[in-house]
């Protein structure tokens, strides 16, 4: 029987949990804490490292450390440089694969050493941000497959956090709003506990944005650099810029430290040592909250978009590392004065909820919604358009069919991922596409044979393609892939 785990691949930290004896248990590599740094290091001596070993090696050679890969997954390559100025180039897929493998090897090692499970078969519930689409999902699914893990469900991160809370606290019929401020994204969902044995939970609405705690760090970094510049004397503008660039990683780490301290204290007032000199640093919580107020306001607009037109709720759950900042709870309470605001396992709620989702015995643990629309790209002369088959916010499973006539042994088409909620045919705004679909027929069909391509987003959040004949029967001897 496979061991089912919940995985939260975060921007700054990742977590892996499973349920044992009714309790949440973290599965961590030897020497790690439950919050595993989502980082990658490489040089010609130490090779490739992930997690805490990578973070430790990166202190001596920051230019060889890759951070925030989740935010840079669409880049063509990521370059790392060691102290000898040797440059190493990796694709985001390579780095994600290495980090995932580190997480899974650690989980297996933990299961073996603590629970005497030798090389257990692993199945996973994977979590993704609301705004991230198939490209990110495919990257993680591929990495987990290479690590020998079967993924049987993909759910949005705030959905997992809501399940974590509702399984422990709310009675049937309870509805909660989850506000998840992570390192790189803001995710919001309104989820109801239905009381149904067949489908215990239902997503009522969801939304997200690509801003997170790192953006708060950047605002604070700018404030710190301004304070440093006022204390530099006799340097030209170019020399000042070089000084700041040389010490940027040090200041970035200090910005994160100050952000955490200001969650507990009203002022940070300590000197900072750089290149043998001390520089005065003083930041008040009021200054910090003032320079980041627009970021918080932007996340609140996402919240308003989610709750607009929805039924009342009485509890708001704050998760994600950013929820520790006092300004977050204060602003949420101002927005929803009649609600109880809870901060529930902010760093681990997503991974815990994914593990709990896996333990729910109902046929459909959560009635999910599609975070995007999916359509076939059509080319007619010089015009390119999208025929939407699945629409954003559709309850899952959702599917659509596209009928075409075959002219060869292969059928290929592109699938676009977008945000259309109701239009069947829309102009193609961008040249890119989410994924390509390829169908190979073992026997060449007669030219002009009618074929129906059915695209489905399953109740488990997995995208699949099925090829049918004109009578709606699945065509035998076909090989179907989405890539």
* Of residues 2, 38, 3, the one with CA closest to residue 17: 3
**DSSP codes, 256-290:** HHHHHHTTT-SEEEEEEEETTEEEEEEEEHHHHHH
Residues lower than pLDDT 70 in the chain: 170-173, 380-382, 429-433
Under 8 Å between Cβ of 49 and 42: yes
Q: What is the pLDDT of residues 267-289, one digit of tens each?
A: 999 999 888 889 899 999 999 99
* Of residues 65, 59, 20, the one with CA closest to residue 39: 65
Residue 402: count other Cβ atoms within 10 Å of its Cβ.
Answer: 17
Q: What is the pTM of this model?
A: 0.92
User: Does 3-155 match 373-482 in CATH topology?
Assistant: no
User: Which CATH number describes the domain made up of 213-291?
Assistant: 3.90.640.10
Residue 279: count other Cβ atoms within 10 Å of its Cβ.
Answer: 18
Q: What is the pLDDT of residues 145-180, one digit of tens each?
A: 999 999 999 999 999 999 999 988 865 568 999 999
User: Which CATH number describes the domain made up of 3-155?
Assistant: 3.30.420.40
b/e map 337-352, b = 16+ CB within 10 Å: eebebeebbbbbbbbb
Domain boundaries, the chain: 3-155, 164-211+294-346+361-367, 213-291, 373-482
Length of the chain: 483
User: Which CATH number describes the domain made up of 164-211+294-346+361-367?
Assistant: 3.30.420.40
Phi and psi (nearest 5°) for 461? 80, 15
- How does DSSP classify residue 72? G
Under 8 Å between Cβ of 96 and 113: no
Q: CB neighbours of 116 closer than 8 A, spacing ≥ 6?
A: none
Q: What is the pLDDT of residues 42-75, one digit of tens each?
A: 999 999 999 999 999 998 898 999 999 999 999 9
| E strand map for 106-174 | 122-128, 149-156
* Of residues 202, 208, 207, 206, the one with CA closest to residue 175: 202
Angle, nearest 10°, between helix axes 248-261 and 213-229? 110
Helices (H), 262-364: 285-291, 293-307, 326-335, 349-359
Q: What is the pLDDT of residue 170?
A: 65
Q: What is the pLDDT of residues 357-402, one digit of tens each?
A: 989 989 999 999 999 999 888 876 667 788 899 999 999 999 999 8
Q: What is the pLDDT of residue 349?
A: 95
Q: What is the pLDDT of residue 234?
A: 80
Our measurement of the distance from residue 444's CA atom to the centroid of its chain's CA atoms, rounded to an integer in Å, reads 41
Under 8 Å between Cβ of 206 and 91: no
First-to-last alpha carbon distance for the chain, in angstroms, is: 30
Phi and psi (nearest 5°) for 99? -65, -45
> Which two tokens mark 167?
């399984």
Under 8 Å between Cβ of 420 and 426: yes
Instruction: Return the CATH architecture of domain 373-482.
Output: Sandwich (2.60)
Q: What is the pLDDT of residue 180?
A: 97
> Which residue's structure tokens are 């309850």?
395
What Å distances lie between residue 76 and 50, 89, 93, 94, CA to CA? 20, 10, 10, 11
Beta-bridge partners for 376:
387, 415
3-state SS record for 203-261: EEEEEEECCCHHHHHHHHHHHHHHHHHCCCCCCCHHHHHHHHHHCHHHHHHHHHHHHHH
- How does DSSP classify residue 309? T
């Amino acid at each position: 029987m496979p061991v089912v785990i919940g995985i939260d691949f975060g921007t700054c930290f990742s977590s892996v949990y499973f349920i044992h004896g009714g309790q949440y248990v973290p599965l961590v590599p030897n020497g790690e804490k439950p919050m595993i740094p989502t980082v990658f290091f490489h040089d010609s001596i130490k090779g490739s490292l992930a997690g805490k070993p990578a973070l430790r090696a990166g202190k001596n050679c920051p230019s060889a450390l890759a951070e925030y890969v989740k935010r840079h997954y669409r880049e063509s390559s990521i370059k790392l440089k060691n102290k000898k100025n040797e440059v190493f180039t990796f694709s985001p897929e390579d780095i994600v694969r290495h980090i995932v493998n580190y997480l899974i090897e650690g989980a297996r090692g933990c299961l073996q050493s603590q629970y005497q499970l030798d090389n257990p078969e692993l199945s996973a519930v994977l979590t993704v941000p609301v705004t991230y689409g198939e490209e990110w999902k495919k990257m993680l699914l591929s990495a987990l497959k290479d690590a020998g893990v079967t993924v049987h469900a993909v759910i949005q991160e705030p959905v997992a956090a809501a399940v974590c809370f509702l399984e422990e606290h709310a009675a049937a019929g309870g509805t909660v709003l989850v506000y998840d401020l992570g390192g790189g994204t803001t995710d919001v969902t309104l989820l109801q506990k239905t009381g149904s044995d067949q489908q215990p939970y239902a997503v009522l609405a969801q939304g997200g944005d690509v801003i997170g705690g790192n953006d708060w760090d950047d605002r604070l970094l700018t404030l710190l650099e301004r304070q440093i510049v006022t204390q530099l004397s006799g340097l030209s503008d170019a020399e000042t810029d070089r000084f700041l660039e040389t010490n940027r990683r040090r200041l970035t780490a200090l910005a994160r430290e100050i952000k955490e301290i200001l969650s507990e204290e009203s002022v940070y007032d300590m000197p900072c040592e750089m290149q043998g000199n001390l520089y005065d640093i003083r930041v008040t919580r009021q200054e910090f909250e003032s320079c980041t107020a627009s970021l918080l306001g932007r996340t609140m607009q996402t919240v308003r978009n989610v709750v607009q037109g929805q039924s009342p709720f009485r509890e708001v759950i704050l998760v994600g590392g950013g929820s520790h900042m006092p300004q977050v709870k204060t602003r949420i309470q101002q927005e929803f004065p009649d609600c109880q605001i809870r901060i529930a396992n902010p760093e681990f709620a997503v991974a815990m909820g994914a593990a709990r989702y896996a333990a729910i015995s109902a046929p459909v643990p959560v009635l999910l919604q599609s975070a995007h629309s999916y359509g076939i790209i059509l080319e007619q002369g010089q015009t390119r358009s999208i025929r939407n088959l699945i629409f954003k916010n559709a309850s899952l499973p959702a599917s659509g069919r596209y009928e075409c006539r075959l002219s060869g042994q292969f059928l290929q088409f592109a699938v676009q991922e977008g945000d259309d909620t109701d239009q069947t045919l829309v102009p193609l705004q961008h040249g890119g596409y989410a994924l390509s679909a390829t169908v190979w027929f073992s026997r060449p069909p007669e030219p002009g044979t009618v074929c129906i391509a059915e695209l489905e987003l399953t109740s488990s959040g997995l995208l699949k393609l099925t090829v049918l004949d004109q009578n709606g029967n699945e065509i035998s001897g076909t090989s179907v892939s989405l890539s």
